Structure 1
Amino acid sequence: MHVLFIGDVVGEPGFRAIATYLPHLVSKYDVELVIANAENIADGNGVTRSTANALFEHGVDVLTNGNHAWDKKEALDYIKSEPRLLRPHNYPAGTPGSGWCIFTTKHGHKVGILNLLGNLFMPGDLACPFATALQALEQKPEDVKVIIVDVHAEVASEKIGMGWYLDGKVSAVVGTHTHVPTADERILPKGTGYITDVGMSGCYDSIVGLDTQKMLNRLIDKQPESMSVAEGKATLCAVMLDIDEISGRCREIFRLRVAESDMDSGMDELRLV
Structure 2
Amino acid sequence: MQILCIGDVVGSHGCDFLRRRLPALRRMKGIDVVIANGENSSDGNGITPASAGHLFDSGVDVITTGNHTYRRREIYDYLDETQPIVRPANFPPDAPGHGLTVLDLGRTRIAVINLMGTVYLEEHLACPFRTLDALLKTPDLPKICIVDFHAEATGEKRALGYYADGRVSALFGTHTHVQTADETVLPHGTGYITDAGMTGPVESVLGVKAELVIKKQMSKLPVRFDFADGDCKMDCVLFDIDEKTGLTRTVERLSIR
Normalising by structure 2, we get a TM-score of 0.97
1:132 partner SS:
helix
Residue identity opposite 1:196 in structure 2? T
Distance in 2 separating the partners of 1:121 and 1:44: 23
The ranges of structure 1 where at least 4 consecutive aligned residues each deviate by more than 4 angstroms after the TM superposition are: none
1:27 partner SS:
helix
Compared with structure 1, are the counterparts of its residues 203 and 44 closer, same or farther at alpha carbon in structure 2 (3 Å cutoff)? farther
For 1:50, the equivalent position in structure 2 comes to 50
Residue identity opposite 1:11 in structure 2? G
Distance in 2 separating the partners of 1:124 and 1:66: 14
Distance in 1 separating the partners of 2:188 and 2:79: 34
For 2:170, the equivalent position in structure 1 comes to 172
Identity value in percent = 42
For 1:127, the equivalent position in structure 2 comes to 126
1:31 partner SS:
coil
For 1:118, the equivalent position in structure 2 comes to 117
Is 1:104 paired with 2:104? yes
Distance in 1 separating the partners of 2:169 and 2:79: 26
Residue identity opposite 1:159 in structure 2? K
Distance in 2 separating the partners of 1:76 and 1:124: 22
For 1:18, the equivalent position in structure 2 comes to 18
Shift of 1:108: 2.5
Distance in 2 separating the partners of 1:140 and 1:121: 33
Residues 5-84 of structure 1 aligned to structure 2 (within 5 Å): 5-84=5-84
8 Å contact from structure 1 (residues 159, 196) kept in 2: yes
For 1:244, the equivalent position in structure 2 comes to 242
Distance in 2 separating the partners of 1:213 and 1:138: 47
Write out per-residue CA displacement over residues 129-172 of structure 1, whole angstroms, 9 at most, x where no aligned residue.
00000100011415x11000000000000000010000000000
8 Å contact from structure 1 (residues 198, 237) kept in 2: yes
For 2:227, the equivalent position in structure 1 comes to 229
2:254 partner SS:
strand
Distance in 1 separating the partners of 2:139 and 2:44: 33
8 Å contact from structure 1 (residues 16, 234) kept in 2: no
Shift of 1:21: 0.7
Write out per-residue CA displacement over residues 216-248 of structure 1, whole angstroms, 9 at most, x where no aligned residue.
110113342111111111100000010001110
Compared with structure 1, are the counterparts of its residues 162 and 44 closer, same or farther at alpha carbon in structure 2 (3 Å cutoff)? farther
Kindly report the root-mean-square deviation, in angstroms, between the aligned alpha carbons of the 2 structures. 1.1
For structure 1, the residue ranges without an aligned partner over 5 or more in a row are 260-273
Shift of 1:82: 0.4
Aligned pair count reads 257
Normalising by structure 1, we get a TM-score of 0.92
Distance in 2 separating the partners of 1:223 and 1:127: 31
For 2:182, the equivalent position in structure 1 comes to 184
For structure 2, the residue ranges without an aligned partner over 5 or more in a row are none
